[in-house]
Chain A
Amino acid sequence: MTMQIADSVSLSAPDARARAHAAAARNNLRTEPKAVRIVIIALAVIFLTMFVVLPLALVFAQAFSRGVLAYLSALADPEALSAIKLTLVVAAISVGLNLVFGLVAAWAIAKFEFSGKTFLITLIDLPFSVSPVISGLVFVLLFGAQGYFGGWLRDHDIQILFAVPGIALATTFVTFPFVARALIPLMQEQGTQEEEAAISLGASGLQTFFRVTLPNIKWGVLYGVLLCNARAMGEFGAVSVVSGHIRGETNTMPLLVEILYNEYQFVAAFAIASLLAMLALITLIAKTVLENHLDEGHDASEH
C-alpha cells in the first residue's frame, strides 16, 4: 500500500510548494467537491427509489386499488386462508429443523479445526446460490413417480411430492444456510476459551453448551431464525416445482400470488403479496434491531 502511495507522489517537489499543497488538500482529504457529492447521493437515491421503493409502494397501491373492503374480502377467501395456514406450517417445520442443524454445524465449524472446511462451508452455502428451481428438481428426481424412491413410496402409500412433506423438504433445503451462516462468524470470534474453562471446571458437554455457548450467541440465533423464516415463507421457485399447485391444498402464499395474477385477479394477488411484503418489512425492522444488539455484544466483548 505504501509503495503505491509513494508511486503517485513526486517526492522531489520543492518543500514550500508541497506544504502549501498539503495544507489545501487537508480540508478535502477524505471527501469530494460538493457537486460530486450531490451527484453520487442523487444517483444512489434515484436508483434505490426506482428499483426498490416503487415496486414496494406499488404492491400496496394495487392491493388497496379497489378499497379496503375488496382487500379484506380477498384475504378472507378460503383459498387465501388455506394458503396462509400452509405457509405457516411449512415455515415452522423448516425453521425448526434448520435451527437445530444450524447450531450444530456452526459449533463444528467454529470451534474445531479440520481439513476440507472451505468445501464444507461451500456445501452449506450452496442453497444460497443454486437456482431454487434446481432445489425443487432434486426432490422430484428422488421422490417423483420415476424417481429413485418413487416406487417404494407408492408401494407404502406415502405421499411426499405434491404434498406438505415435499414442500417442507424443499423449503428446508432452500433455507438451510441461514442459521449456520449467522452463527459461524459469531462463534469464531468468541473462540473456545469460555467453553474450555467451563469444561475444566467440571461441566459436561451439554451443560457447557446450554449454559455458556447458547447465552453468548442468543442474538445471533434469533437473527438467523428471522432470516430463515422470511425466506421459508416467501420461497417460490423450489416450492413451485414440488407442490403440484393443488388449489386449497398445496398452494403456499407465493404460489397463490402467481395463480391469482395469471388469472388477472390483480387485487387478490396483490392483497396476498402485500401480506408477504409486510412480512419482509417487519423482518427488516427486526433485523436492524437485532443488528444493534449484536453490535453491542460485539463492543462489550472487545472491552
Chain B
Amino acid sequence: MGLTLSWLTLIILIPLAGLFLKSLELSPEQFWNILSSRRTLNALRVSFGLAFAAACVNLVMGSIIVWALVRYRFPGRRIFDAIVDVPFALPTAVAGVALTALFAEKGWLGAPLAALGIKVAFTPVGIFVAMIFIGIPFVVRTVQPVLQDIDPEIEEAAGSLGASRWQTIIRVILPSLGPALLTGLALAFARAVGEYGSVIFIAGNLPNVSEIAPLLIVIRLSEFRYADATAIAVVMLVVSFVIIFAVNRLQRWAQSRIPVR
C-alpha cells in the first residue's frame, strides 16, 4: 500500500502537481487571457469539437461492428475481430504517416475522394479521420463483452411475447448496453482530444483552422512560452480527469446493477 502510494506520487502526482503549481504562478487574469486568445480558443474548439464528432461516429460504427462480430458468422470474422485492436497497438507516428499517405491527393483513398472534390489530408477533415481511426477499439472493446453476456432468454422472451425485432433491440438490448456505450463514447472522446501523433501529420496544422490543442502546447513550448503551454495543458488535463473519473464511477455503478452470478 505504502509502496503503491509512493510510486504513484513519484511518477504521477509530483509531475502533475508541478503542472498545477506552474499554472498557479499565473494570475487569474493572465490565465484567462491565454485561454481566451483567438488561437487558443480555436485550437481547443478544433480538438474538442472534432473529437466529439469522431467519438459519435465511433459510437455508431463501433456498435455496428460489435453487432456483426458477436451475432453473425462470416468469413474472416476472427481476423476482423483481431484487427479492431490495431489502432490501439500501432504506434501513433506510424498511424499518422500511413493515414496521411492513404488520404493524400495521390493516395489509395485520397485520389478517388479528390476526384469527388473531397480533400481530406491537410484539412480539418483529415483530423476527423485520424480521430475516428484512433477511437475504434474503445467503443468495440467496451461494448463487445456486454453484448456477449446478454442472456439469450431475455431476447427470446421479448420476441415470443410479440415484440418486433426492432422493438426488442431498442427496448431490451439497448438499455442493457447503455453504460458500456457511454463508457466507450467517453473513452474514445478522451483519447481523440489528446491525440497527437496520428493527427499532426494529416492535419496540415494551419493556425486557427486545423491546429489541435496538443500541437499548440508543443509550439508554445518550443517558443519557451511555458505559461501558455501550461494553461492549455491544465484545461485539457482537468477535462480528461473528469471524464475518466466519471467513467470509473459509471463502471462501478454498472457492476453493482448487475447481480453477481
A62 and B236 CA atoms in complex are apart in Å by 36
A240 and B214 CA atoms in complex are apart in Å by 12
Main secondary structure of the interface of A (DSSP, over half): helix
Shortest Cβ gap from A66 to chain B (Å)? 15
- Chain A residue with minimal CB distance to B214? A133
Given A30-B156, A142-B18, A273-B94, is A121 in contact with B248 using a C-beta cutoff of 8 Å?
yes
Q: How many residues of B contact A (CB 8 A)?
A: 99
Q: How many residues of A contact B (CB 8 A)?
A: 104
- B38 contacts the other chain (CB 8 A): no
- B241 contacts the other chain (CB 8 A): yes
B residues near A7, Cβ cutoff 8 Å: 171
Query: Which of B16, B91, B98 contacts A234 (CB under 8 A)?
Result: B91
Assess whether A137 is in contact with B241, with CB atoms less than 8 Å apart. no
Main secondary structure of the interface of B (DSSP, over half): helix
Given A173-B11, A261-B201, is A118 in contact with B218 using a C-beta cutoff of 8 Å?
no
Query: Which of A18, A51, A108, A137 contacts B230 (CB under 8 A)?
Result: A137
A148 and B22 CA atoms in complex are apart in Å by 9
B residues near A128, Cβ cutoff 8 Å: 191, 244
B residues near A4, Cβ cutoff 8 Å: 171-172, 175
A residues near B65, Cβ cutoff 8 Å: 44, 47-48
A284 and B78 CA atoms in complex are apart in Å by 13
Given A8-B167, A134-B233, is A254 in contact with B197 using a C-beta cutoff of 8 Å?
yes
A131 and B19 CA atoms in complex are apart in Å by 13
A127 and B240 CA atoms in complex are apart in Å by 10
Assess whether B98 is in contact with A134, with CB atoms less than 8 Å apart. no
A residues near B108, Cβ cutoff 8 Å: 54, 58
A246 and B65 CA atoms in complex are apart in Å by 43
- Chain B residue with minimal CB distance to A114? B1
Pick 11 A–B contacts, CB within 8 A, sort by A. Answer: A22-B159, A41-B74, A43-B64, A58-B101, A137-B217, A173-B11, A236-B197, A257-B94, A258-B93, A280-B89, A284-B89
The 6 A-B residue pairs whose C-beta atoms are closest, nearest first, are: A234-B91, A131-B194, A138-B15, A29-B159, A237-B196, A236-B197
